[in-house]
Structures are given as structure tokens and as C-alpha cells.
Amino acid sequence: MKNIKTAIAQKNFTVGDLKSNFEIIVNSIENAKNNGAEIIVFPELSLSGYFPKDLLLNNKFISDNEKYMKMIADKTNSIVALVGFVSRNGNDIYNSVAVIQNRKIVKIINKNNLTYTEKRYFSEGKSSEIISVKIDNYTYNVGVDFTNNFEIDDKNSEKYGEGKANFLFLFGNSAYSFNKLEKRRDAIVEKAKKIKTPIIYTNIVGGQDDLIYDGNSFAVDKNGNPIAICDGNKENMKFFKIAESDVLSSFEPIDKMEELFKSLVLGIRDYFVKTGFKEAILGLSGGIDSALVAVLVSEAIGSENVYSYSMPSNFSTDHSITDAENLAKNLGINYKEIPIKDSYDNLLSTLDSEFSGTKFGIAEENLQARIRGIILMSIANKFNRLVLATGNKTEVFLGYFTLYGDSNGALAPISDLNKILVYSLSNHINKRTSREIIPQNIIDKKPSAELKDEQYDPFDYEKIAPLVDEIIDNNLTKNELLKMNYDEKMIDEVMNLIQKSEYKRHQLVTGLKVSDAMVHKNRKMPIINRF
């Protein structure tokens, strides 16, 4: 086999923005040609952006996407291009890859083995065909297949494995999760070895609502050795030769904390860029959660675009304010103190006809959180900024937050990180910059909502955070948890809190997915549920 020069175009596309996506594609093809590439591959559904969801029910969207695909073909010669788009046949649409050569679409491969989500839109195709591609009078047998979660259908791989194809282009965009990067590598390395065929895996890069596509595309030879590795969490065009490539020494070990940091930053940045917002606003309680979000958003959109507020109430401690102030100083973000004592007293007197004679309780606690929520939303509305909610996953599932209060916002960057991961990432941030970005006192002090005197979070997070994860991510039952030596009283309490707060999560803002399994938006628990 002649040595074929290949380009992986790991690009950041925007859902629905066909014109920009089209431009990215033709520019990348031009760039690849200029670099002598003979074949270029783009990720799954590059032209539409990923994943278009109910846009796929829009006829005009589908036909516009077809028009742009033709325009891409018109502009593509002297190179073979594989481009993901939506193809149509009568009333059926498919998740497809077009193979373009000499200004023509010479083949369209449609995905089979559709996922649950895809079946809402697409019809089953027949992926895993071998296509013949002629470059410089040399004909290559090229396998094309799609993967769901890195499972590759054995029936498919029989068709292109064992040398039947010279190499395989594998499609299947994969959203970031904390443990997924290693799994991806391992699965594809194993598969290449098993089918004795080089695999070029492409993944899209960029944030889309709750999902972060981290890129990290790569290619391995038929022995599973890496021959091309794209960077994570950014656009990257990699050129390499498939047949006689120099084998890279090996995959580098994955720094999971650093990847988490970069992926969250990408997810936040793209949420702003792609929705057209420039400035962020958030409350700094002096606690760890809001501190972490402040760091992430500063990195994502620039500290000059971040507006932070300390909003002390009657129950706030002095260190809350100084910790918040120090953090803001360290980050160089805008910072202001807006005390809520007056507004709180005023609203309580407005409510006096209802509240007089009752004892201080949850209503008064929530009232403080809601005043803060109002203040942030008011400033956001006034200056067209975007509010960030700062809750973590453990709180979210225990229902330990105030609806229309601290849950206010357009994006919740860390709502899928459990409390332990929040601490680990915070420590990592101070370590990676070799200075105390997050004041140590914020990391060391006892977590508190400070909504009444001497109030501390009523949870032992070391124990309760993993327990919540077992219930939510792994769907474990009480009996299974008892066998893992969780305390029965704690199990009952946690299960009860999760169930009681279901209606709150039904109204929750979009959060960035980080867990392996379900995040709150994937969870489909009934609100009315007496089990």
C-alpha cells in the first residue's frame, strides 16, 4: 500500500449555523490540500453541528444542509473528503457521511445501529461498507463505520477487518465525562488489534448546551499503536501517514483533573460564544462552589468579563466577605458588595400580615437566597449578562438549594461535580498555577449556607457524596447499598431527599455533564411517585 497522507479535521462547529460550519469545512479542506493531504476526514454531523435534536424535524434545516453539502462538493477537488451531514431519501433522513472526490459525492454512508435518541429522527442505514477510493492510480479499500459509546458491532467489523479494508474511518462523537478518555483509547486500541486494521477515530470539539465534546481524536495502526493524537478541548488539524507511519512512542498518561478543568472551561466558553453573550455574573458566598465557578468562568471568557457580588445577610460571617473579596482580587474579576439586610427586613415587613406570630424557618432562609437571586437577575437583565448558578451535584440531588434563589442562572457549570470532586478540582487549580488562586480558607472551612445562625451543611460529604452517586449514576437499590456498608439511616434519608426534590430538578437550569451516567436532564423520574 502506498503511503497515504491523511488529515483529521477536529473542528468546533455550531449547531444550526450551517453557513459557518460550511466555511469551516471548505477552509479546512483548502488548508489540508495546501499541506499535501490526500484525504481529509471531519467528525460525525459536522455540517449540521452536533447534536441538532429537534432541528432535525425541520424540513428547511434538512434541505439547507443538503444544499451546503452540494456546495462543499463543488469546491472539493484534488483531495478526498469525508464529511458528516444529514442525508435524505424520500421521507427518511439519515446520519450520514459523504465521500467527496473530484467535486462529486461519490458515496453516502448511513449509520446503522442507531441509539435511542437518534431513532427519534433518523432511519436505520447500512454503515460499515468498504468503499474504493482511487488516489494517484492506487485504489484503497476504506472502511467506514459508526460507533455508539465505543462499542463496535462485530457484524460490521467482519466486513472491513482482517485486511479487507486498508484502514477504517470510525465516526461517533463522544461527549466528555470524567472517566471516559481512557475507556475510549482502550476500546479503540483493542479493536484495532482484534481486526488487524488501522483505525482513524474522529471526535467533534466544542460545547453544546449540557454536553462538552472534548475532541481528543486519534489514529492507531493495526497493532493499536498511536500514529496521530489530536489535542483535547480545542480545534486541531493533524496530518499523518497511515500505511508506514512512524509510530508515536505511546499515548501519554491522562491527567484527569487537568482534563476536567479544560473541558469545563470549554463548555462554559462555548455556551457564551455560541449564545452570543459576553459577560457573566455570579454571587460569591465565600464558599467553595462559587469560588470554583468564578475560576472556571474567568478562564473561559476572561476575568474582565466576570462580575461578582458578595451579598451578605444578617447571618453572613466576616470571613465570607473577606474570602470572596480575596478570591476576586486573585482572579482580577469585577467585584462589589451588595448587602441584602435592608431588602430582607423590608420583605419580611411586607410579609408581616402573613408571618407575624410564626417562627423563623425555611421560608426566611429561602427568602435570603431568593433576594440574592433577584439581585443577580436584575443586574444581568440590565447589562445583558448571563447568570451562572453555582450548585454542585451532591446538593442538586439532595435538593439542598433554593429554587428561584441560588439555582437561578442560564448555566450551572459544576452541577454535575459531586462535592468531593469540587474540592479536588479546587486543589488542582491552586497547584496548576502554583499559587493560591482559591484562598486556602475557602477550601479548609466547614461548608455553610449561612442562612441562619451557626448553620453548617447537615451532611458528611465524604460519605454522602459517593452515596448519592451510587443511587443516581449506578441506580443501586437499598439492599445493594447495605451490602456496600452504607449506613441504613443515611440511605433512607438520602433516598427520601432525592425523591422529595424531584420537582425542583424538573425546573433546573442546564448543567455541564461530567458524570459517566445520567445527569439531571437525562433522568426521567416521575414527580408523582410513591414508591
Tell me the residue ranges of DSSP E strands in 380-516: 386-387
Q: Could you say which residues in the range 461-480 bind a second copy, by CB under 8 A?
A: 475, 477-479
Cα torsion 300, 303, 304, 306: sign: positive
Is 375 among the residues that bind a second copy (CB under 8 A)? Answer: yes
The residue type of 363 is A
How does DSSP assign 438-467, residue by residue?
S-HHHHHSPP---SSTT---SS-HHHHHHH
Is 517 among the residues that bind a second copy (CB under 8 A)? Answer: no
Is 363 among the residues that bind a second copy (CB under 8 A)? Answer: yes
Stretch that binds a second copy, among 85-93, 169-177, 314-322, 504-512 (CB under 8 A): 504-512
The residue type of 314 is N
Please tell me the distance from the alpha carbon of residue 342 to that of residue 235, in angstroms, as a whole number: 49
List CB contacts of 252: < 8 A, sequence separation 6 or more: 229
| Minimum gap (Å) between residue 116 Cβ and a second copy | 6
Please tell me the distance from the alpha carbon of residue 24 to that of residue 205, in angstroms, as a whole number: 13
Please tell me the distance from the alpha carbon of residue 302 to that of residue 295, in angstroms, as a whole number: 10
Q: Give the residue with the Cβ less far from a second copy, 1 or 362.
A: 362
| Minimum gap (Å) between residue 446 Cβ and a second copy | 25
Q: Give the residue with the Cβ less far from a second copy, 379 or 490.
A: 379
Question: Using an 8 Å Cβ cutoff, are 253 and 245 in contact?
Answer: no
Stretch that binds a second copy, among 28-36, 224-232, 362-370, 455-463 (CB under 8 A): 362-370
Please tell me the distance from the alpha carbon of residue 263 to that of residue 428, in angstroms, as a whole number: 14
* Among positions 43, 52, 125, 143, the unique one binding a second copy when judged by CB under 8 A: 52
Please tell me the distance from the alpha carbon of residue 443 to that of residue 466, in angstroms, as a whole number: 19
DSSP summary character for residue 360: S
Stretch that binds a second copy, among 102-110, 129-137, 246-254, 266-274 (CB under 8 A): 266-274
**Site map for a second copy, 294-333, x if CB under 8 A?**
----------------------------------------
Question: Using an 8 Å Cβ cutoff, are 326 and 308 in contact?
Answer: no
Residues in contact with a second copy, total (CB under 8 A)? 81
* Among positions 43, 84, 198, 207, the unique one binding a second copy when judged by CB under 8 A: 207
The residue type of 236 is N
Please tell me the distance from the alpha carbon of residue 379 to that of residue 285, in angstroms, as a whole number: 17
Q: Give the residue with the Cβ less far from a second copy, 179 or 346.
A: 346
| Minimum gap (Å) between residue 264 Cβ and a second copy | 16
Q: Could you say which residues in the range 108-127 bind a second copy, by CB under 8 A?
A: 116, 119-120
**Site map for a second copy, 221-260, x if CB under 8 A?**
----------------------------------------
Residue 101's beta-bridge partner residues? Answer: 104
Is 503 among the residues that bind a second copy (CB under 8 A)? Answer: yes
Element (H, E) at 71: helix 59-74
Q: Give the residue with the Cβ less far from a second copy, 207 or 224.
A: 207
Q: Could you say which residues in the range 411-470 bind a second copy, by CB under 8 A?
A: none
Is 495 among the residues that bind a second copy (CB under 8 A)? Answer: no
Stretch that binds a second copy, among 2-10, 58-66, 151-159, 297-305 (CB under 8 A): 58-66
Please tell me the distance from the alpha carbon of residue 254 to that of residue 251, in angstroms, as a whole number: 9
